[in-house]
Structure 1
Amino acid sequence: MRKWLTRPEMGALGGVILVWIVLAITGSSGFGQGFLSLRGTVTYLEVSAQLGILALAVSLLMIGGEFDLSIGSLIGATGMVTAILASEAGWSIWPAMGVSLILALATGVVNGILVVRTKLPSFIITLATLFIFRGATIGLTRLITDRTVVGGLNNLTGFKSAQVLFGSGIRAFDAGGPISITTEPALIGSSLSIAVIWWLGLAVLATWVLVRTHVGNWIFGIGGDANAARNVGVPVDRMKIALFMTTAFAAWLVAQIQIMDVRSADVTRGELKEFEAIIAVVIGGTLLTGGYGSAVGAVLGALIFGMVKQGIFFTPLDSDWFRVPVGMMLIIAVLVNNYVRQRASESK
């Protein structure tokens, strides 16, 4: 029992239960109403899923001792690359997605190489990348299209087939209706977005990597003491580059899910997502200093964020206040994480 209580995600699990109870009481007039309704559940799961995809990748990177602040700008950039190539250049959606994926992975490689070669903090490197990509996305989009939003993507070649993988939903909540696949946006009706399926699938994969593979041991070792890990043969530099590529891939995936969901791309997409992902990861029990955390915790942190962000709409509070409880939970999470980490060290 003591071993389970000192796991990094246990604080987040308690947070999920507490937040759900509070919102269930304040945000619904009865079972199946408000926050407890199927529509309410689908809504916060959609928000949690997109953030959770980012948080999973960020958790691996942070356990490895690094940060990536460029993922928010990459969401806007890769989404816009897909949209412009498909709408302005006349490409099919699939090759346009392929090019934007290459851009994302190349950015991850560049971020990783700059971090391991220059020895500068990843915070600084990726903060610079954030501004570069955000500025370039806005400037080039205006130059090419004379606007900042590219819409009408649902009429382009390959959109329908791509939407099955990135923009569909599972409609299982219609009264008396069978389970079926729908391509309506998840926020219309009560369909469970495919983003949730991606999120849970990637959570299983990330957990398996961390817990069951030598790569997971390498990640924890690099975050705990990179020099010691290098001395025992861990390919520290290659692993860090791979982790930056992972966060870049997550940003690309979220971008494609978003453009399939709303049928458009916007240069401002992804703003503040880098910080929201870090918040979710920290709430989930990962230390800012690296070497400690879990993918399950990142899932729970994203779930808490999604419940608070969307659940507040069902309460008497103005939705502008939602960042207040998030900030309070962040402080509490850090204190709990430090306490749990200390108790875990004492029990060894």
Structure 2
Amino acid sequence: MSITTTGPQGTGKDERVTKVNPLRSLLVRPEMGAIAGSIAVWIFFAIVAGNSGFLTLSGTATYLSVSAELGILAVAVALLMIGGEFDLSIGSMIGATSMIITILSAQFGWNIWASILVAVVFALAIGFLNGYLVLRTGLPSFIVTLGSLYIIRGVTIGVTRALTGRTQVGGLDLAPGYDSAHAIFASPITIGGASFPIEIVWWLVIAALATWVLLRTSFGNWIFGVGGDVQAARNVGVPVKRVKITLFMMTALAACLLAAIQAITFTGSDVLRGQDNEFLTIIAVVVGGTLLTGGYGSAIGSVFGALIFGMVRQGIVFAGVDADWYQAFLGVMLLLAVLLNSYVRKYALEVRR
């Protein structure tokens, strides 16, 4: 005997099967708000600053360069925040690792690749320590990494002054191995007569890799799991400690990469380099659709969040607007992004029911 399950109207269809409008499914993706925002910002500055260079290839290269500097950090921080944690130490990590590279090579004559290796090891060690302390003590990562921020910056300033007598160190272009390092980290790519910094390529490659990890690997599922419900993730066998410590190490490594790019580009370092980047990065990630509470977000969203920053920062310059308004824009954008993300999250849950 066969049994046919019918819906309330006797249609012969299983009432448990619900069709979801493809457009609605698209709108609830975490990055859609940032994508729409990027388009709106581009159109706005194309209108108000199009005749001032914003639409030229050189103008595009300028705001993409600014976006890439923030975006390299934002991609790694997005994964960490999806995993339910914060890292406020990345700003001071940029200053510390860039100074390690510069002092070892410019002051002590090390090959620049050896200096970069030391900086990478230092960054990974600090990332591991941050993750270990968060898990071991049970303290919020916000507090642990805030402490790390001040410790790292203070030690960087103290050691740099002790070794060099100043807080800015140059001469990196005279170090052994500089030319090959410059080709990898700081060489421009010329398109239509405009120079696009290679850091843009680094940014996009990292974003693509992070997206693949999140959406196509077990580790990506673990990240969403520990961010959504850490106890439930632990109960089904997710290695919570390994996942979170790895994420902290990846944010530190991203900061080290940006430090190497900037040190080699500017042939020197400043102990305060990277200051406030930790907060700008979190804002970019939130604008990109990642929830502050974890468990929801995307790497692609952080790309568009950083792109919005780059376009606004340089668009204001092209439009001739007082740069002081940039700070006001950051605050407004953060509040709007949090409200929008909260609404989209609730909408997404309703669609899935």
- Listed one character per residue, the Cα deviations across residues 111-135 of structure 1 (whole Å, up to 9, x for unaligned) are 0000011000000000000000111
Report the alpha carbon displacement of residue 321 of structure 1 after superposing the two structures with TM. 1.3
Any residues of structure 2 matched to 1:85-96 within 5 Å, and which?
85-96=104-115
Q: 2:187 matched to 1:159?
A: no
Find the counterpart in structure 2 of residue 14 from structure 1. Answer: 36
Report the alpha carbon displacement of residue 155 of structure 1 after superposing the two structures with TM. 1.3
Find the counterpart in structure 2 of residue 105 from structure 1. Answer: 124
What is the total number of aligned residue pairs between the two structures? 330
- Listed one character per residue, the Cα deviations across residues 145-178 of structure 1 (whole Å, up to 9, x for unaligned) are 001111121111100001111111111222xxxx
> Which of structure 1's runs of 4+ aligned residues deviate more than 4 A?
none
Letter in 1 for 2:301: G
Report the alpha carbon displacement of residue 10 of structure 1 after superposing the two structures with TM. 0.5
Letter in 1 for 2:184: L
Select which of 23, 26, 36 maps to 2:45. Answer: 23
Quick check: 116-125 or 321-330, which moved more? Answer: 321-330
Distance 1:232 1:115 in 2: 22
Q: CA RMSD in A?
A: 0.8
Distance 2:305 2:109 in 1: 40
Letter in 2 for 1:48: S
Distance 2:300 2:330 in 1: 19
Quick check: 286-295 or 16-25, which moved more? Answer: 16-25
Select which of 334, 338, 350 maps to 1:334. Answer: 338
Find the counterpart in structure 2 of residue 186 from structure 1. Answer: none
Distance 1:149 1:40 in 2: 30
Any residues of structure 2 matched to 1:252-291 within 5 Å, and which?
252-291=256-295
Identity %, equivalent residues: 60
Distance 2:167 2:142 in 1: 28
For structure 2, list consecutive stretches of 5 or more residues without a partner in the other structure.
1-22
Report the alpha carbon displacement of residue 34 of structure 1 after superposing the two structures with TM. 1.7
Q: 2:144 matched to 1:125?
A: yes
Any residues of structure 2 matched to 1:1-348 within 5 Å, and which?
1-29=23-51, 33-174=52-193, 190-348=194-352
TM normalised by structure 1 equals 0.94
Report the alpha carbon displacement of residue 52 of structure 1 after superposing the two structures with TM. 0.3
Report the alpha carbon displacement of residue 282 of structure 1 after superposing the two structures with TM. 0.1
Report the alpha carbon displacement of residue 331 of structure 1 after superposing the two structures with TM. 1.0
Distance 2:113 2:169 in 1: 17
Distance 2:39 2:336 in 1: 15
Contact 2:106 2:174 in 1 (8 A): no
- Listed one character per residue, the Cα deviations across residues 305-344 of structure 1 (whole Å, up to 9, x for unaligned) are 1111111001131112112122211111111101110010
Report the alpha carbon displacement of residue 28 of structure 1 after superposing the two structures with TM. 2.4
Quick check: 33-42 or 243-252, which moved more? Answer: 33-42
Find the counterpart in structure 2 of residue 178 from structure 1. Answer: none
Contact 1:308 1:326 in 2 (8 A): no
